[in-house]
Amino acid sequence: MERIWFSCRSASLFGVLLLALSACAKYPPLNPKAEPPADYTYIIGPGDSLEMFVWGNPEITREVVVRPDGKISAPLVEELPATGKTPYQLARDIEKELSRYIRNPLVTVIVGGFSGPYSEQIRVVGEASSPQAVPYQEDMTLLDLMIAVGGVTEFAAGNRATIVRRINGVQRQFQVRIDDLLKDGDISANVDILPGDILIIPEAFF
């Protein structure tokens, strides 16, 4: 019995040691200035609300919502894929569909209730006040993101937070300093956010 207790105790201490080592893992700091996507254009995703405006045809003009399967349905337009397209691209696809029934249709797609595809969203997990996925906006920074999620909890280790970012097809992890930014007002800790970033805010060890 004593040998079993010692084995379990040793395993427990080993687990604590691994946890401590992972908590102390060092990641390179994130470059404050990131190269923004060239000519970034909003990409439509499930849940987006779209106004399909068909010039000269008010009976067809209406608001539609992109379904979870990424498609839309509207009068004379059925099961049309929308996810992954820009509003301009979707408008051209709708025109192609409508051209079977209407001569030279002219369509404008206006996006509201932005969600975007998961690949473009910024995901915040861990000790944020309101962990969530946030649609990317042009010139978004870490400060903008923290305002969107309501800051961090009292248990957060903000200066041990990291951002996971895909660079040239490879996922990499970088350290950011949320406490310095929010509590000390250190603007040098403010960094650019890019589409698809994941912000991980760990819990502090007391």
Say how far residue 11 (Cα) sits from the centre of its chain. 38
Task: For residue 53, give its domain range.
Answer: 49-112
Domain boundary among 85, 112, 139: 112
Give the integer Cα–Cα distance in Å for 189 and 55: 48
Angstrom CA distances, 105 to 12, 66, 76, 101, 151, stand at: 69, 21, 12, 9, 47
How many residues belong to the chain?
Answer: 206
CATH code of the domain in which 166 resides? 3.10.560.10
Judgement on whether residues 100 and 138 belong to the same structural domain of the protein? no
**Does some domain include residue 155?**
yes
pLDDT bucket at 25, cuts 50 / 70 / 90: low
Encode pLDDT of 50-81 as tens digits: 999 999 999 999 999 999 999 999 989 989 99
Domain boundary among 89, 112, 135: 112
**Does some domain include residue 36?**
no
Q: Are 126 and 200 in contact (CB under 8 A)?
A: yes
Domain boundary among 112, 138, 158: 112
Give the integer Cα–Cα distance in Å for 30 and 13: 33
Encode pLDDT of 142-175 as tens digits: 999 999 999 999 999 999 999 999 988 899 999 9
Identity of residue 126 = G
Q: Are 169 and 160 in contact (CB under 8 A)?
A: no
Which of 1-5, 72-76, 103-107 shows the lowest mean pLDDT across its residues?
A: 1-5
